[in-house]
Chains A and B, each alone.
Chain A
Amino acid sequence: DGGITQSPKYLFRKEGQNVTLSCEQNLNHDAMYWYRQDPGQGLRLIYYSQIVNDFQKGDIAEGYSVSREKKESFPLTVTSAQKNPTAFYLCASSMTASPVYGYTFGSGTRLTVV
């Protein structure tokens, strides 16, 4: 079955560490997105990529980095510069850069700073 796989499901980070969240899709979708969700809040866009080897900052990109070397993969690195990284992270994809058909989401990664 086609879909988006996020791993790990739970991740613990020590202060000052960088961590990388994985997002892989086998839907042959062109565009991919990373969102952050905090308790009781909506979705905030971190980064998005509409084509391989290209990506743009979203609304809250500071302290995060991404790469898009392959169509199927869009990993997110949470750097030590991100002061409050504890959150639920969601990866999504859409068929084209113009998401008239909506997004497909992964099941999320919950990141906790310890």
Chain B
Amino acid sequence: GNSVTQMEGPVTLSEEAFLTINCTYTATGYPSLFWYVQYPGEGLQLLLKATKADDKGSNKGFEATYRKETTSFHLEKGSVQVSDSAVYFCALSKDFGNEKLTFGTGTRLTIIP
């Protein structure tokens, strides 16, 4: 079946540091891939997505590239801010059948000034 594996947290970085949160997936065919962000006490918000191999999703300075050869969708940001502190979820979906979104377990990120 489909699955998503995220790097375990929590991750703590200083402001302006470079961020990488690893995400790998297992799925047949060509899933769509997503990163969601959850701020404290809130629901999940879509951060970025990519729907085919080699696509790069980007938003708010975050980027992730769909790498089919390594089945990965790592989230990166060049210079993090305190406001980026949140929980980040990687997810995938298939484009046929009655598939549901499959989520990773989430990675808590804390940025210290």
Contact = CB atoms under 8 A, between A and B. Distances in A.
Interface stretch (A62-70, A75-83, A95-103): A95-103
A47 to B, nearest CB: 11
B104 A42 contact: yes
Interface in B70-110: 89, 91, 93-101, 103-106, 108
Contacts of A107: 42-43
Contacts of A33: 100
A48 B105 CA distance: 20
A50 interface: yes
A43 B89 contact: yes
B51 to A, nearest CB: 7
Interface of B: 32, 34, 36, 41-46, 49, 51, 89, 91, 93-101, 103-106, 108
Contacts of B100: 33, 45, 48, 99
B43 A99 contact: no
B93 A100 contact: yes
A43 B98 contact: no
Interface residues of A, number: 26
A43 B101 CA distance: 11
Given A98-B94, A102-B49, 13 more contacts: A6-B43, A43-B44, A43-B103, A48-B100, A98-B98, A101-B32, A102-B91, A102-B93, A103-B46, A104-B46, A105-B45, A107-B42, A108-B42
Given A90-B44, A108-B43, A103 B96 contact: no
A41 interface: yes
Which 9 interchain pairs have the tightest Cβ spacing? A105-B43, A42-B105, A100-B95, A105-B44, A107-B43, A99-B93, A108-B43, A43-B103, A100-B32
A4 B32 CA distance: 23
